[in-house]
């Protein structure tokens, strides 16, 4: 028996994906009697095929799917013939559920791309073939479905095949097999259709049973990302993981990357015993001949051909979230077993799904595909996705909501982190601070326009100055006239605005100063990013909590009036959101407090920190 | 070429390790059935030579087969793991019984409610379950790492994308993750693995003479004196086995002479009905499993 084949069905809405899987299950006799009886009942209730069985109902397992007659989420089904076992993922065709389609495609060896013979190539057909190719699926079957509806017209079939071949010409598929069929009647799915004497190829099931999806075996260097350190007692310390590529023998040397420590493999531990070798795909526990520092996220790697590390990458990403991807915003990246902070520094382009052309973009929205550059806050071990899927695939996670916002694939590193060193400096922050007899800090004001940030910040600086402290005030309006004058008020620009200011504040704190930052800084993620740049206790978030109605009533600069007249776009509080801090160090209520009292509150908190 | 079995095994071990490495208070649901036996075996493999670094949790409905309880205690001892047993005491005091209150209400109280109590009082952030995608069509839709909102609610329309083997395990307070290491196993895979690894299972899976009575078209075993026999009715001895195990009043036996693993595998491969057919609770109306799952059932 051949290995198990994992494949997906994809294509546009109503092209017959679920029906096809139902048909495959039915023809391979994988439908149990009780499920069949349920199907008969459900077909009467929800079916779209009149009195006939609606095979799609075998896979559309969610109540909402059955009621609406659509597929929302990916379903995994299992069937086998005498020749092969199959895991098939039925994926949704609607654009809004593309992320569920990508979920199914990421682990597939082959994709069955359905096309409605009456409609030809649709936008979703193009989107899905592009995603499938981007995710490295190497084989596709073009299933031209509903051929019975057009009288098994050979010319129409050939026209669609010509179109699809032109589309996927540069997608790098190893094989493309086109089959005319009807999932509804089963023709050319499991048996040969009498209406298509002009088609001499295999039926779908015959093809799936025999297609060879194995990759040409090249000798790959050993890599195993460490998943878990097993230390039940002081006697035993094992590094658990799945071998991503290559193999290793007991006695071979390995290098721990990042880090660079080297050791020899003492044993490869498996259940109740040991084995001499660990091969690609094995889930093992490796022990080493000496104590080295190894933790989750590092990669055990061959010494002769060690894995590279970097902190800057060019990658292809697919946006999975309704909250678009914004350059400069801090995310987490999960790459094999490593998880570190990351920002998108630049969106190189967004892909036009229809034309395949490159568009300029400042953000990526749900279901957009684009190419970006990424900066991680620590170097990580990696391979390109093309070289090794396991070591080149990643997801991006929103730090606040924990939502998976993107899936991506590393194309290449922009530089090797090993070549870049921090300039080490002899005079450090502590030395500079001592000279000034103060503890450097960043006091970060956030709040709506007109809430009183600048007034309080100014007063605070005066008090500190009088007390002989060395300070600097960074004010939103002033910085926008210089350092950030190239930035507007879109979400992407606001994120970049705050990122720059946070970095400047960090340098100033490093210089030993007490920095007062007075910015609306409406987004929680950016404030958290700013916080992450500083040491524990250095960052004091001051939330000037003045209600919107009060700010608008004050309207010192007349901005609210203008915004209400529609003269200012993206105005915080009105047409752009303000995300309240969850737990600021200081929260000021300016309705009951004078600016003087507010400054007192801050000073006593800052003194406490000193 | 790796066999399908060794691929499945490696994938499940990877899932179990990933779950433990990224959670702070994991627990494994142990239902004593064949799937639980395989899951426990894989967990022991994943952390050998240490015992798995989490406890086993059994939600005891007090209506389990007696042989299951004996087997449960034996396996906890053998694996060196802590066994935590939870019973919904309030429901027990009310005398909730599948015979009196019907399968739906009984399951709600003793299983779903009992489970939520056990999970809340343990404060677990990650819970392993032995469900497989081939069992039922709403399970076929569930992720391997299945995110639950506070209150254990599952929203099938808003599942996290789950690409490759990259599981997003980050949660906020009150949220939990259920992890299903056997997602991609089929019933046949389970039996073949039990045979090739010599995994101990409850003897009820093997055919033997057992006392049963007919209820509707199903054979129900009379496991203890709480079984309400009809007037003049007495259990008859029949050669039966169980394809799936749960609460004895709700689990139908099937007539079979499969008394070895080889015969069970043969019977499984030739089966014309699904294994959950013997589970009476799955038939409580359309979409019943999906609804139970949304409310927190496994």
DSSP string, B96-158: --HHHHHHHHHIIIIIIIHHHHHHHHHT-SEEE----TTS-TTGGG--SEEEEBTTTB--GGG
User: What pLDDT is attached to residue A252?
Assistant: 97
| Listed range (A190-194, A331-335, A418-422, B244-248) with the worst mean pLDDT | A418-422
Give percent above pLDDT 70 in chain B: 95
Nearest alpha-carbon partner for A8 in A165, A124, A139, A118 = A139
Q: Rounded distance, CA B282 to CA A33, Å?
A: 15
Sign of CA dihedral B85, B90, B94, B97: negative
Q: Count Cβ atoms below 10 Å from residue A300 Cβ, excluding itself.
A: 26
| CATH numeric code, A217-302 | 2.40.30.10
User: What pLDDT is attached to residue B278?
Assistant: 64
Average pLDDT, chain A: 89
User: What pLDDT is attached to residue B1?
Assistant: 47
- CB contact at 8 A, A89 and B196: no
Q: Rounded distance, CA A55 to CA A25, Å?
A: 9
User: What pLDDT is attached to residue A241?
Assistant: 97
Question: B218 — phi, psi (to 5°)?
Answer: -120, 145
pLDDT mean over A181-200 = 92
pLDDT mean over B222-236 = 91
Q: Rounded distance, CA B287 to CA A179, Å?
A: 35
pLDDT mean over A404-428 = 73
Residues of A in contact with B277 (CB under 8 A): 32, 34
Q: Rounded distance, CA A227 to CA A283, Å?
A: 10
The confidence band for B268, taking pLDDT boundaries of 50, 70 and 90, is: confident
Whether B44 has its CB under 8 Å from any CB of chain A: the answer is yes
pLDDT at A422 over 60: no
Residues of A in contact with B273 (CB under 8 A): 32-34
* Higher-confidence position of B232 and B199: B199
- Residue A161's H or E segment, with its range, is helix A154-168
pLDDT at B205 over 60: yes
pTM of the model: 0.81
- Contacts of B129 by beta carbon, 8 Å cutoff, 6+ apart: B29, B178, B179, B180, B298
Q: At what angle do helices B34-47 and B66-79 cross, to 10 degrees?
A: 0
What's the 3-state SS for A11-64? ECCCCCHHHHHHHHHHHCCCCCHHHHHHHHHHHHHHCCCCCCCCHHHHCCCCHH
The confidence band for A22, taking pLDDT boundaries of 50, 70 and 90, is: confident
pLDDT at A530 over 70: yes
- Range list of H helices, A419-512: 429-436, 453-466, 476-481, 491-510
Q: Does domain A308-416 have CATH number 3.40.30.10?
A: no
User: What pLDDT is attached to residue A117?
Assistant: 95
Vertex B181: Cα angle to B178 and B184 (nearest 5): 120
Q: Count Cβ atoms below 10 Å from residue A259 Cβ, excluding itself.
A: 15
Instruction: Tell me which DSSP letter residue A549 carries.
Output: H
- Range list of H helices, chain B: 4-21, 34-47, 66-79, 89-93, 98-106, 114-122, 187-197, 261-270, 288-295
User: What pLDDT is attached to residue A1?
Assistant: 45
Number of helical H runs and strand E runs in chain B? 9, 10
- CB contact at 8 A, B141 and B162: no
User: What pLDDT is attached to residue A50?
Assistant: 63
Residues of B in contact with A29 (CB under 8 A): none
Look at strands B56-59 and B83-86 and give their pairing. Answer: parallel
Instruction: Say whether A217-302 and A4-214 share the same fold.
Output: no
To test the contact with chain A by mutation, choose from B12, B81, B141 the residue with the greatest count of A C-beta atoms within 10 A, namely: B141
Beta strands in A243-327 (DSSP E): 248-249, 253-257, 262-270, 273-275, 277-278, 283-288, 299-302, 308-319
Active-site choice (A18, A182, A518, A521): A521
| Count, residues in chain B | 298
Residue-wise pLDDT tens digits, B92-131: 999 999 998 988 899 889 998 999 999 999 999 999 999 9
Residue-wise pLDDT tens digits, A360-372: 999 999 999 999 9
Average pLDDT, chain B: 91
Residue of chain B whose alpha carbon sits nearest to that of A107: B164
The confidence band for A32, taking pLDDT boundaries of 50, 70 and 90, is: confident
Q: Does domain A4-214 have CATH number 3.40.50.2000?
A: no
| Listed range (A50-54, A95-99, A328-332) with the worst mean pLDDT | A50-54
Q: What is the dihedral of CA A66, A68, A73, A77, to 10 degrees?
A: 30
| CATH numeric code, A429-609 | 3.40.50.300
pLDDT at A377 over 60: yes
| Listed range (A507-511, A542-546, A568-572, B61-65) with the worst mean pLDDT | A568-572
Q: Which two tokens stand for residue A349?
A: 């382009």
Interface A–B counts its CB contacts (< 8 A) at: 154
| Listed range (A27-36, A172-181, A334-343, B195-204) with the worst mean pLDDT | A27-36
Residues of B in contact with A76 (CB under 8 A): 133, 140, 183-184
Residue A418 bears catalytic tag: no
Helix (H, G, I), strand (E, B) or coil at A507: helix
The answer to whether the Cβ–Cβ distance between A227 and B18 falls below 8 Å is yes
pLDDT at B281 over 70: no
| Listed range (A125-134, A462-471, A538-547, B279-288) with the worst mean pLDDT | B279-288
Give percent above pLDDT 90 in chain A: 59
A310, β-bridge pairs: A380
User: What pLDDT is attached to residue B277?
Assistant: 65
pLDDT mean over B230-235 = 90
- Is the peptide bond between B49 and the residue preceding it cis, with omega within 30 degrees of 0? yes
Nearest to A271 among B21, B48, B141 (CB): B48
pLDDT at A425 over 60: no
Q: Which of A476-480, A569-573, A602-606, B116-120 has the highest mean pLDDT?
A: B116-120
Interface of B with A in 148-187 (CB under 8 A): 156-157, 159-166, 168, 170-172, 183-184, 186
- CB contact at 8 A, A196 and A147: yes
| Listed range (A66-70, B113-117, B164-168) with the worst mean pLDDT | A66-70
For residue A275, give Cα distances in angstroms to A263, A271, A597: 18, 10, 71
The answer to whether the Cβ–Cβ distance between A230 and B50 falls below 8 Å is yes
- Contacts of A336 by beta carbon, 8 Å cutoff, 6+ apart: A225, A244, A297, A299, A381, A390, A391
Domain range summary for chain A, segments of one domain joined by +: 4-214, 217-302, 308-416, 429-609
pLDDT mean over A392-407 = 94
pLDDT mean over B194-199 = 95
Residues of B in contact with A102 (CB under 8 A): 161, 163
Whether B47 has its CB under 8 Å from any CB of chain A: the answer is yes
Q: Which two tokens stand for residue A490?
A: 């879109």
Q: How far is B172 from chain A (nearest CA, A)?
A: 8
pLDDT at B282 over 60: no
């Amino acid at each position: 028996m051949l290995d198990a084949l994992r494949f997906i069905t994809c294509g546009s809405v109503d092209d017959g994906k679920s029906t096809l899987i139902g048909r495959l299950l039915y023809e391979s006799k994988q439908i149990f009697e009780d499920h069949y009886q349920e199907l008969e009942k459900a077909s009467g209730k929800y079916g779209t095929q009149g009195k006939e069985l609606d095979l799609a109902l075998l896979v559309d397992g969610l109540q909402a799917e059955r009621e609406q007659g659509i597929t929302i989420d990916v379903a995994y089904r299992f069937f086998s013939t005498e020749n092969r076992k199959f895991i098939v993922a039925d994926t949704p065709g609607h654009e809004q559920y593309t992320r569920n389609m990508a979920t199914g495609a990421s682990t597939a060896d082959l994709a069955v791309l359905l096309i409605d013979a009456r409609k030809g190539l649709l936008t979703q057909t193009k989107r899905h073939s592009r995603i499938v190719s981007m995710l490295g699926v190497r084989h596709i079957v073009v299933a031209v479905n509903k051929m019975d509806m057009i009288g098994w017209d050979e010319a129409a079939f050939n026209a669609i095949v010509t179109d699809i071949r032109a589309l996927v010409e540069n997608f790098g598929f190893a094989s493309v097999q086109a089959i005319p069929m009807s999932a509804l009647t089963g023709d050319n799915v499991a048996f040969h259709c009498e209406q298509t004497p002009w088609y001499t190829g295999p039926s779908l099931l015959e093809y799936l049973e025999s297609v060879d999806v194995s990759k040409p075996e090249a000798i790959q260097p050993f890599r195993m990302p460490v998943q878990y350190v097993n230390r039940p007692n002081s006697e035993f310390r094992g590094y658990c993981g799945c071998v991503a590529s290559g193999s290793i023998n007991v006695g071979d040397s390995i290098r721990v990357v990042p880090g660079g420590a080297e050791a020899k493999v003492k044993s490869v531990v498996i259940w109740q015993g040991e084995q001499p070798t660990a091969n690609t795909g094995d889930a093992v526990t490796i022990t080493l001949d000496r104590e080295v520092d190894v933790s989750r996220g590092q990669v055990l790697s061959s010494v002769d051909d060690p894995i590279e590390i970097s902190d800057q990458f060019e990658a292809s990403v697919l946006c999975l979230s309704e909250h678009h991807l914004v350059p400069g915003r801090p995310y987490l990246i999960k790459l094999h077993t490593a998880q570190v902070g990351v920002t998108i520094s630049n969106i190189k382009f967004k892909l036009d799904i229809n034309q395949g052309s490159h568009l300029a973009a400042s953000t990526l929205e749900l279901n957009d595909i684009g190419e970006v550059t990424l900066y991680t806050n620590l170097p990580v071990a990696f391979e390109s996705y093309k070289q090794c899927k396991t070591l080149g695939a990643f997801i991006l996670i929103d730090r606040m909501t924990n939502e998976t916002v993107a899936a991506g694939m590393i194309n290449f590193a922009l530089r090797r982190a090993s070549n870049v060193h921090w300039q080490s400096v002899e005079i450090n922050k502590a030395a500079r601070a001592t000279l000034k007899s103060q503890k450097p800090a960043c006091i970060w004001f956030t709040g709506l326009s007109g809430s009183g940030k600048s007034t309080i910040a100014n007063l605070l600086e005066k008090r500190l100055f009088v007390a002989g402290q060395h300070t600097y005030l960074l004010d939103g309006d002033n910085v926008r006239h210089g350092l950030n004058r190239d930035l507007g008020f879109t979400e992407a620009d606001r994120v970049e605005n705050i990122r720059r200011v946070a970095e400047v504040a960090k340098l100033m704190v490093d210089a030993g100063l007490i920095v007062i930052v007075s910015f609306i800084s409406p987004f929680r993620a950016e404030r958290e990013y700013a916080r992450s740049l500083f040491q524990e206790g250095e960052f004091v978030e001051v939330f000037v909590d003045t209600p919107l109605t009060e700010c608008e009533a004050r309207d010192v600069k007349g901005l609210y009036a203008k915004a209400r007249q529609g003269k200012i776009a993206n105005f915080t509080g009105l047409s752009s959101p303000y995300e309240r801090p969850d737990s600021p160090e200081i929260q000021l209520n300016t309705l009951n407090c004078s600016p003087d009292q507010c400054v007192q509150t801050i000073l006593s908190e800052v003194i406490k920190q000193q | 070429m790796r066999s399908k079995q060794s691929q499945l095994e490696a994938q499940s071990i990877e899932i179990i390790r990933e779950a433990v490495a990224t959670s702070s208070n994991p627990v494994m649901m142990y239902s004593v059935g064949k799937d639980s036996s395989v899951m426990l075996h894989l967990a022991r493999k994943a952390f050998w030579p240490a015992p798995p670094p989490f406890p086993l949790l059994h939600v005891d409905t007090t209506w389990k087969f007696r042989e299951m309880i004996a087997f449960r205690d034996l396996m906890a001892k053998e694996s060196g793991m802590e066994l935590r047993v939870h019973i919904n005491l309030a429901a027990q005091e009310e005398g909730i019984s599948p015979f009196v209150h019907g399968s739906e209400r009984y399951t709600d109280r003793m299983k779903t409610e009992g489970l939520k109590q056990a999970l809340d009082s343990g404060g677990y952030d990650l819970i392993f379950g032995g469900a497989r995608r081939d069992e039922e069509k709403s399970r076929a839709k569930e992720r391997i790492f299945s995110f639950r909102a506070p209150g254990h609610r599952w929203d099938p329309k808003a599942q996290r994308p789950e690409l490759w083997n990259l599981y997003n395990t980050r949660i906020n307070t009150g949220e939990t993750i259920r992890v299903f290491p056997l997602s991609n196993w089929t019933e046949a895979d389970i039996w073949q693995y039990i045979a090739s690894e010599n995994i101990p299972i409850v003897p009820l899976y093997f055919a033997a003479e057992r006392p049963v009575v007919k209820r509707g078209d199903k054979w129900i075993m009379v496991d203890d004196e709480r079984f309400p026999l009809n007037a003049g009715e007495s259990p008859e001895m029949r050669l039966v086995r169980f394809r799936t195990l749960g609460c004895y009043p709700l689990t139908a036996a099937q007539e079979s002479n499969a008394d070895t693993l080889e015969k069970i595998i043969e019977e499984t491969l030739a089966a014309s009905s699904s294994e959950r057919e013997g589970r009476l609770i799955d038939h409580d109306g359309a979409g019943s499993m999906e609804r139970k799952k949304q409310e927190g059932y496994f």
